[in-house]
């Protein structure tokens, strides 16, 4: 049982800590924000979607405001095999590791409502997602113990209030309820498909078919957090915003099964890291405005992973994630009273520079965005945006989870246990949004 639980815990680790790569910290909170690569998002207050970043910005509204958005993400993640493990009598073809479309396309919805009660106080409601991921490999994938299916979904429900201290300073506070679902499936892959044999002796380890499930775990949980914000209006054309979102702990609980094990209770606790953002908005002329943002994500707070199986500690591992920065610069152009154009660029750092995984291929990324708002009438408008995200090409090295748990007596028959891949991930994003004030 200990051997089987270790395999399960190792696979959980490979999936769970890489689900925290910056690639899957979802910035896609609105179409208006996407059009400028989310530059200035903590202070620009184009529409109610600002509530996703800074509750203090509600003080900039004098009418009720509603925004409904949807973002379509088409990731172009490509994995190419470089080399496989070294097992006595087994020769792996690296081309078997090649796979396109590792991360399937997805749609991310969001909804926001802001209600100014009077000149001093406003409150708002937001429903969106800050984290999410999915990667899929076939049941017969050669590196099945580190591929398989990795799926994490989160929904954040936020209620916030803002208070205008004076003509220049506004404060905001919000409470967050986060619901998360996680699913993890791993297969044996081809490493032990023929077993392990010794010339002149014969089979010393029985064959394990590549489609054999070695991990199947799913779970969910509710977590709670808070966020605060500040807006400082230098004058009517220039303002600054600061926002902080606390980390949220999700203790996923559910069922898991492994190699020949019955269904048991399993749980894994992970933290969604804290986020700090500083933004600026500057109306330079009657038509042109500039925005910028610096986002700091505290990945270093993710210190260790602990997985429990059947009530007992099955695995504990120290991690070394790095804090990351995201820098964004945007501009808007008021073409006329009905049409506003946007553009933006951003640089997004990887959190897992030394801990990459094929379940979540992660790298530094450059964003190139454009968008527009068209006013339908005095109270209604629509936003459209498109963005291309260009990820670096990186080398990924991972130990096969199944080989890593073989009995010590078989170690002399197995050389290096790593799979090596070349990974490149780009993405196309399209977003649409409806806004109404009343």
Q: What is the pLDDT of residues 376-425, one digit of tens each?
A: 999 999 999 999 999 877 778 888 877 877 777 777 777 788 888 887 77
Dist. CA 89–CA 4, nearest whole Å: 25
CB 267 within 8 A of CB 255: no
**Are 128 and 164 a contacting pair, CB within 8 Å?**
no
- Strand partners for 278: 242, 294
Q: What is the mean pLDDT of each run of 10 residues along the chain (438 residues)?
A: 45 41 69 97 95 97 97 86 78 81 87 97 96 82 84 92 98 96 84 79 82 83 96 97 94 76 76 92 97 92 68 61 91 97 94 63 84 97 96 80 77 79 86 97
By CB atoms closer than 10 A (0-12, 13-18, 19+), residue 20 is buried
In 3D space, the residue among 184, 182, 210 whose CA is nearest the CA of residue 10 turns out to be 184
Host H or E run for residue 33: helix 31-34
C-alpha distances out from residue 416 to 17, 140, 354, 419, Å: 23, 22, 19, 9
User: pLDDT, tens digit, for every residue of 122-170?
Assistant: 999 999 998 877 788 888 888 888 888 888 889 999 999 999 999 999 9
* pTM (two decimals): 0.88
CA dihedral sign of residues 38, 43, 45, 51: positive
Architecture in CATH of 2-437: Beta Barrel (2.40)
The answer to whether residues 358 and 143 touch, using CB atoms and an 8 Å cutoff, is yes
- What is the rounded CA–CA span in Å between residue 145 and residue 11? 7
Under DSSP, the state recorded for 93 is -
Residue 159, CA distances (Å) to 128, 156, 174, 423 in order: 12, 10, 6, 39
H or E segment to which residue 16 belongs: helix 2-16
């Amino acid at each position: 049982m200990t051997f089987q639980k270790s395999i399960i815990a190792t696979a959980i680790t490979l999936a769970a800590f890489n689900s925290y790569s910056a690639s899957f910290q979802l910035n896609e909170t609105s179409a208006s924000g996407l059009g400028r690569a989310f530059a200035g998002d903590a202070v620009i207050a184009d529409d109610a979607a600002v509530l996703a970043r800074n509750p203090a910005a509600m003080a900039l509204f004098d009418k009720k405001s509603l925004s409904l958005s949807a973002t379509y993400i088409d990731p172009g993640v490509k994995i190419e095999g470089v080399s496989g493990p070294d097992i006595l009598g087994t020769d792996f073809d690296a081309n078997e590791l090649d796979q396109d479309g590792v991360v399937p396309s997805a749609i991310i919805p969001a909804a926001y409502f802001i209600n100014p009660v009077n000149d001093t106080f406003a409150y708002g409601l937001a429903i969106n997602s800050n984290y999410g991921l999915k990667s899929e490999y076939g049941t017969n994938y050669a590196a099945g113990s580190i591929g398989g299916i990795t799926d994490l979904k989160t929904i954040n429900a936020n209620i916030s209030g803002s208070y205008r201290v004076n003509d220049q300073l506004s404060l905001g506070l919000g409470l967050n309820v986060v619901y998360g679902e996680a699913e993890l499936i791993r297969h044996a892959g081809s490493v032990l498909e023929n077993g392990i044999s010794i010339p002149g002796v014969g089979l010393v380890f029985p064959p394990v078919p590549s489609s054999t499930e070695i991990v199947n775990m799913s779970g969910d949980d509710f977590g709670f957090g808070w966020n605060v914000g500040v807006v400082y209006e230098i004058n009517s054309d220039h303002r600054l915003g600061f926002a902080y979102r606390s980390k949220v702990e999700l203790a996923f609980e559910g069922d898991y099964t492994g190699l020949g094990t019955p269904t048991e209770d399993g749980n894994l606790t992970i933290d969604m890291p804290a986020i700090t953002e500083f933004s600026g908005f500057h109306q330079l002329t009657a038509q042109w405005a500039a925005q910028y943002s610096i986002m700091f994500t505290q990945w270093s707070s993710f210190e260790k992973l602990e997985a429990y199986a059947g009530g007992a500690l099955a695995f504990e591992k120290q991690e070394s994630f790095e804090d990351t920065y995201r820098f964004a610069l945007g501009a808007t152009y008021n073409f006329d009273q009905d049409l506003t154009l946007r553009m933006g660029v951003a640089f997004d750092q990887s959190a897992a520079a030394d801990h990459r995984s094929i379940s979540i291929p992660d790298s530094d990324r450059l964003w190139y965005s454009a968008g527009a708002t068209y006013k339908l009438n005095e109270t209604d408008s629509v936003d459209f945006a498109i963005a291309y995200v260009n990820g670096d090409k990186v080398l990924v090295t991972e130990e096969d989870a199944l080989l890593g748990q073989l009995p010590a007596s078989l170690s002399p028959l197995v050389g290096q246990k790593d799979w090596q891949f070349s990974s490149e991930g780009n993405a196309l994003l399209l977003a649409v949004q409806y806004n109404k004030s009343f």
